[in-house]
């Protein structure tokens, strides 16, 4: 007989808050899609659950979400194990050290933060026989911020060409974390630049490489990102509240 997973002693209103937060985010996504003439199905919502307990992720799953993002491999490991009964898709959205590539390959169905050939090689080498190709995105540091990972815009095409030669990886697009700016309009040029960069690489027609996915936009700026072509938005605070 299957044993139901244990639940934390969370306040009843917390489940209601999560559902309400998700509904508000969905309304904002739908409105941004309408403004930009896109379909809601064009945009994947990844709920970024870093620092939040597994039980909150379970509540979000029960409210309809299926894609969850984590920043750290070790933190994600305990959550993935605790939620193994859920048919959830896990995305690594934070910086990945090459020495954790094998564990990341075991835990995640997507890696958004590929930023070097060495890391790409480690992820490719970590594939087990029969594994499907791992969907990956190249993280681009458009603002040149030293505090953030990612390759510079001028290095992306060369890295894409190198990744195309590796077995086991499926390069599907680009990811960006622009500077945090209160005025969303000031962030728009970064999203626009990432879209243009993806188009340039797509035009090279690299075997095994597509630029169909643009992972850009977080809680404070995902609406502008959608207007500029985001196919994946990474939303944490607007769903789960402030980080614990």
Average pLDDT over residues 57-84: 97
Domain annotation covers residue 6? no
- What pLDDT, on a 0 to 100 scale, did the predictor assign at position 8? 52
Residue 173 lies in a domain: yes
Average pLDDT for 55-82? 96
Region 196-201 average pLDDT:
96
**What is the extent of the structural domain holding 211?**
12-240
* 4 found inside a domain: no
Our count of domains for the chain comes to: 1
Q: What is the pLDDT of residues 133-144, one digit of tens each?
A: 999 999 999 988
Q: What is the CATH classification number for the domain harbouring 228? A: 3.20.20.10
Of 109, 132, 113, nearest to 215 (Cα)? 113
Does residue 135 lie within any of the structural domains? Answer: yes
pLDDT band at 15 (very low <50, low <70, confident <90, very high): confident
Which pLDDT value is given to residue 4? 46
Has residue 115 been placed in a domain? yes
pLDDT, tens digit, 9 for 90 and up, residues 18-55: 999 999 999 999 999 999 999 999 999 999 999 999 99
Decide if 219 is inside a domain. yes
Question: Over 90: is that where the pLDDT of 170 sits?
Answer: yes
Decide if 7 is inside a domain.
no
Residue 28 domain-assigned (yes or no): yes
């Amino acid at each position: 007989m299957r044993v139901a997973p244990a639940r934390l002693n969370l306040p009843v209103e917390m489940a209601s808050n999560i559902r309400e937060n998700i509904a508000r985010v969905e309304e904002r996504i739908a409105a941004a899609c309408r403004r930009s003439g896109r379909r809601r199905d064009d945009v994947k919502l990844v709920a970024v659950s870093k620092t939040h307990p597994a039980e909150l992720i379970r509540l979000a799953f029960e409210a309809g979400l299926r894609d969850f993002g984590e920043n750290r491999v070790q933190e994600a490991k305990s959550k993935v194990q605790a939620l193994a009964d859920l048919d959830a898709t896990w995305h690594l959205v934070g910086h990945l050290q090459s020495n954790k590539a094998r564990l990341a390959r075991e835990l995640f169905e997507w890696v958004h933060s590929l930023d070097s050939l060495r890391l790409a090689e480690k992820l490719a080498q970590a594939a087990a026989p029969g594994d499907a190709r791992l969907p990956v995105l190249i993280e681009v540091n458009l603002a040149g911020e030293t505090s953030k990972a990612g390759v510079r815009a001028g290095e992306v095409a060369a890295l894409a060409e190198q990744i195309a030669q590796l077995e086991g990886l499926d390069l599907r697009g680009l990811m960006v974390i622009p500077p945090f700016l209160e005025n969303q309009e000031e962030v728009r040029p970064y999203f626009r630049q990432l879209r243009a960069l993806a188009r340039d690489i797509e035009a090279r027609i690299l075997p095994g490489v597509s630029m169909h996915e643009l992972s850009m936009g977080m809680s404070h700026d995902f609406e502008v990102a959608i207007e500029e072509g985001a196919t994946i938005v990474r939303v944490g605070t607007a769903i789960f509240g402030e980080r614990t």
